[in-house]
Each structure stands twice: as C-alpha cells, then as structure tokens.
Amino acid sequence: MRDLTKSFMSFSWAMTLFGLDQLRHLVTDDDSGKRRERISEDLEAVTNAAKDRLSERNASMYDAGTTLQRDMVDLTFDIFRGDELKPGKILDRAADFVEESADTLRDMAGEKKKKPTAAKKKRTRAASASA
C-alpha cells in the first residue's frame, strides 16, 4: 500500500510539472509554429502512453469523451469565424453539437447511436456540397 501511495503521488507530481513545462514552452519559446507543434507532440505522447494503459471499457469512454471535447472546441472556434456568425449557422452547429454529444454519451453508456435526423442529413449534404 505504501508503494502504491507513493506511485500515485509521483504520478500527480509528474503531471503537474509536465503541465508547467508546457506552459513555459508556450510563453518562452521563440517560434510560435514550432512551439505549438512541440507542445502538441508532447501532449499527444503523454496522452497516448496513458491511453495505452486503459482497460477496453475505459478506452472506449476515453474515445467518446475525446470526441465530445474536440467537437466542443470545433464548435467554439467555428462560431467565431466570420462566415459562421449568422444566427442560422450558429443554431445549425449547436444542433449538430447537441446531437453528436448525445451520441457520444449513448456510446459511453453502451447504447446504440440513433440514426441522424433529417435536418442533420440535410446540413451534412449542404456542408459537403459547399466544401
């Protein structure tokens, strides 16, 4: 039990210092493009190392949660792009996000995903046609 407690504490301390290193790189490194790439690579390496140790169930939950988080980030950035500031587009993206979030939560709970609604199919076709 002592060694397990020490391991948990070491892990927490390492993650804290790792996060501080990434923040330091963000504010002190010279070239912003390379800086962001390096931080991204470091974060991905640590994330993948942790994910490789997850049980099958938790790996599935991780995938679902990551999808939800990434969709939320995409929605946030898309809203602030000039062409996305139209109320109709914002509502469409928000509706897509809610539907995708519900699918992710269903996946996390082990339920089957619902079929896309007619409105989502229409938005997907419109987005594909404009791309």
pTM given for the model: 0.60
Domain positions in the chain:
60-130
List, in order, residues 6 or more apart from 22 with CB less than 8 Å away. Answer: 39, 42, 43
Distance CA 52, CA 93 (A): 32
For residue 5, pLDDT beyond 70:
yes
Q: What is the pLDDT of residues 29-62, one digit of tens each?
A: 676 678 888 889 999 999 999 999 999 888 888 8
User: Can you tell me the mean pLDDT for 51-78?
Assistant: 85
Distance CA 74, CA 91 (A): 14
Average pLDDT, the chain: 80
Kindly state the tokens that stand for 82: 């000039």
User: Can you tell me the mean pLDDT for 73-95?
Assistant: 74
| Residues making up the chain, counted from first to last | 131
